[in-house]
Amino acid sequence: MRIIFTAMAIAGLAACTTPTEPVSQDYQRISIEGEKATAAERALCESVGGTVRRAGMRGWEHCIQDMPDAGKTCSDGSDCVADRCIIPPQEGREYSPGETATGICAPTDEIFGCFTRVTGGKAEPTLCID
């Protein structure tokens, strides 16, 4: 199980290696290439309404953006701008992988923390990324 989580985390981080990655017409993921944002990376992040802040275990700077569809009910990542349909953390119960679930579109594009994605109306295993 640990290998699966590690592979998923690496795949998620690998997707963040390009300076910009269009996801939809209204959203553009902005990546910071090093430990600290360059002036150009910071300006690009702020130009799309993002905030540069330290995140993750290493404490490197990341561009964190609020999502326009935050909190919208979803049953799959394809229902959300940033492809992140998650079970609300405040729901107060854990879901078993494969259990029928309804989620919400993630409030931000921050990849760190623990969350349970919803894909095809089913809960996936909880994933923690730091």
Answer yes or no: are the C-beta atoms of 82 and 109 closer than 8 Å.
Answer: yes
Q: Which residues contact 55 (CB under 8 A, 6 or more apart)?
A: 61, 62, 64, 110, 112
Give CA–CA dist 89/104, Å, rounded.
10
- pTM, whole model, 2 decimals? 0.72
Residue 51, pLDDT score:
96
Q: pLDDT tens digit string along 36-90?
A: 999 999 999 999 999 999 999 999 999 999 999 999 999 999 999 989 999 987 7
Element (H, E) at 128: strand 127-129
Total Cβ atoms within 10 A of residue 86? 23
Concatenating the DSSP letter of every residue in 32-101 gives --SSS--HHHHHHHHHTT-EEEEETTTTEEEEE-B-TTTT-EESSGGGSTTS-EE--GGG-----TT-B-
Residue 21, pLDDT score:
41
Residue 130, pLDDT score:
87
